Amino acid sequence: MASKVIQALYNDDDVLMSAVKRVKAERHHIEEIYTPFPVHGLDKAMGLAPTRIAITSFLYGCVGLTVAITMMNFIMIEDWPQNIGGKPSFSYLENMPAFVPIMFELTVFFAAHLMVITFYLRSKMWPFKEAENPDVRTTDDHFLMEVALHDNEEELKALLADTGAVELKITEKH
């Protein structure tokens, strides 16, 4: 089902921030905002919930640490013990100081790579996916705010024009 949205184009991030605050104060629903760079404080102004991505990063790091410990114990202690520099090879705990760099590196490796994969999956960015950007100017120097229309077209047009929008357009969103 398609719904109508009004797209307001802005040419300054400070004007966009004040417009978002004003639109939210008027109790209108902002569908999406497209910006050429991250705008500090925009998520709070829109009333978005805080992200839980840090929790997943910690969990991915724990997975990496577990893989590192399991891998080193199997390879260096159980499967193929070697006498390297006279160090004992019959106990993981006695060799653990030598394994700390490997544990650190695999923790960071797993956290970083799985976070990138999680970000792409969460953002629904698949390989060969068509871009969903409604206006190519938002990749350069403009900011676009989409506000849902519910039989209040004239009121929203007046409000958005008053907030400093340089261009207004009504479209169908699928």
Query: Residues 12-59: pLDDT tens digits?
Result: 999 999 999 999 999 999 999 999 999 999 999 998 888 888 999 999
Render pLDDT for 112-159 as a digit per residue (tens, 0 to 9).
999 999 989 988 888 888 888 888 888 889 999 999 988 888 888 999
The architecture (CATH level 2) of 3-49+136-173 comes to 2-Layer Sandwich (3.30)
- pTM higher than 0.75: no
Domain boundaries, the chain: 3-49+136-173, 53-122
Q: Is 27 left (phi over 0), alpha (psi -120 to 50) or beta?
A: left
Sorted by sequence, the CB contacts under 8 Å of residue 45 that are 6+ apart come out as 17, 20, 21, 24
The token pair that represents 71 in the structure block: 């891998």
DSSP assignment of 94-109, as one string? HHHHHHHHHHHHHHHH
